[in-house]
Amino acid sequence: MKYTFFTFLIGFIFINLSQSEAKDLVVYSSKDSATIELIVNGDLNENLYFLKKSTLEQNEDIIKIISKKMHRNIFTVTMENNLPALLYLRYQNEDYPIYIDKDNRIEIEVELRSEKTNPERITIKDPINTYILKKNKLLDEKNLDLKRLYSLPKDNFLLVNSTIEHEIENLRNVYFPKIADKKFKQLDSNDLKAFIAIRNILYADYHNYFTHNNLNPILKLDDININELKKSEINLLSQYVVDLLGMYLDHKVKEKNNCKNKIYNEEQICLFNQRLDLGLSLFKSSKIANFFSAQTLLYALKTGNPTFFETNILRLKEIFKRPDYLSVVVEKARAMEAIGKGKAAPDISLKRINGSTFDLSSLNGKKIYMNIWSQGCSSSIQELANINKLVDGIETRSNAFVLNIYIDNDLNELNGYLKNTKLNGLNVTLENAEDFKKKYFISTLPRYIIINEQGIIETPYAQKPGSKEVRDYMQKP
């Protein structure tokens, strides 16, 4: 269980819900922004990326790519969902979270000349972000894989947690006197509490699974006091607080469940209604309630219940004046309407690695698994091995293939990557990247799309390439 300090949530597009139909909702953007000054000492071996991460959809949005040739760069990025917020700097598959407060200016220095000169490699000139980097480094050093951690005897497991808490407290003693941001301190405290609570809640189930013992839980969800966690919207910057509140909400729905003895679809709708109503009553912060309302609507969309979405998006307009996170769901619904199952795949122009071009429509007659990827998205990179396996499994079939679209859209860069790394399938860039993103609603990665032999969308949000569902579909004669 690798510890990531915070996860930044997208929620920057606000919705005007004055229309009578959800499909007519008007979307507009906020204007908050932050200025980043980046100094690179030495030569980058790879591009450097600035990301936003979405807990709502578990995806990443690459907002800035720093090329290997750049040494000094000052740029402005839109900070959606208001400040404070979090970005991530990614270099050589390592992520560095960057907290941006209301001062909205940050200086980052990347030292590449000598790791002896600067063993930290990344330095940020403010105490909050220095603390975050030190804390992440500490937690990475203490990290155990899932099996090793939860196979520990109870006393040893609790000692690991206690040691982590003690060492983080030592770090706080060094850096917190220099930090005036009280909300950050409370966020940091809640983040660690949620992290430890989740580990303690999961301990018995994982331990019993790995060891075949029959231990009682260290902590139950009913024992959790969520009052501090649900007070402030800044807590949505903590992945662990979001996960713990979600676990608590689902537990309460299950505990209350009066949806039994209904047919499957009716039971689903009943459970979604209960989760929505309970979340609205449980969370007094409008943005936290907004987030979990949006999460419930997303669950409904993903399970094929668009009527639930249509009904409740209009209902929620009466509750939230600025329904921030709901905008993500509206965009998802629009995408599913425009390029949903049964819709004709919009035509686009693609460029092979040799520079020749062709249209997507020329591939009609074949099943296509579209892999939209970037070197800046670690989740995309991790799935490339499964892309290779998927291609190996269908290589004898003439009616199916994998189309790898390099969304960074630099043909020289793609060719350089392919010289050192095997990637099976048809590797391409785009003639017009913005046209493609608009037609296929590409805003975050990773993203996979399946198109059938007739050039019709089979699914606009396909499973990862390693899934049985994808493998079975692509291997079907």
Q: Is the pLDDT of residue 193 over 90?
A: yes
146, β-bridge pairs: none
Q: Is the pLDDT of residue 113 over 70?
A: no
Which band of pLDDT confidence, cut at 50, 70 and 90, is reported for residue 118? low
Give the chain's radius of gyration (CA, Å): 24
In this predicted model, what pLDDT tens digit does every residue of 437-476 receive, in sequence order? 999 989 888 899 999 999 999 999 899 999 999 999 999 8
In this predicted model, what pLDDT tens digit does every residue of 166-180 receive, in sequence order? 999 999 999 999 999
Q: Is the pLDDT of residue 261 over 80?
A: no
Using DSSP bridges, classify how beta strands 94-100 and 357-359 pair: parallel, antiparallel or unpaired.
unpaired
Per-residue pLDDT at 115? 54
308 token code pair: 């639930």
In this predicted model, what pLDDT tens digit does every residue of 437-446 receive, in sequence order? 999 989 888 8
In this predicted model, what pLDDT tens digit does every residue of 267-287 receive, in sequence order? 888 999 999 999 999 998 888
As a whole number, the mean pLDDT across the chain is 85
Among 348, 449, 321, 343, residue whose Cα is nearest residue 16: 321
Q: Is the pLDDT of residue 114 over 80?
A: no
Which range is least confidently modeled, 151-155, 392-396, 429-433?
Answer: 392-396
Per-residue pLDDT at 378? 83
In this predicted model, what pLDDT tens digit does every residue of 50-92 receive, in sequence order? 888 888 877 788 888 887 776 677 878 776 656 788 889 988 8
Per-residue pLDDT at 79? 64
The residue ranking higher by pLDDT, 267 or 204, is 204
**H helix runs in 339-477, sequence order:** 378-382, 384-394, 411-420, 433-440, 468-475
Per-residue pLDDT at 84? 83
In this predicted model, what pLDDT tens digit does every residue of 234-245 receive, in sequence order? 999 999 999 999
Q: What is the mean pLDDT of residues 28-53?
A: 77
Per-residue pLDDT at 180? 92
Per-residue pLDDT at 414? 94
Q: Is the pLDDT of residue 228 over 50?
A: yes
Amino acid identity, position 239 = Q
The per-residue DSSP string of 148-198 comes to HHHHS-HHHHHHHHHHHHHHHHHHHHHHGGG---HHHHHHHHHHHHHHHHH
Measured distance CA(337)–CA(352) in Å, rounded: 30
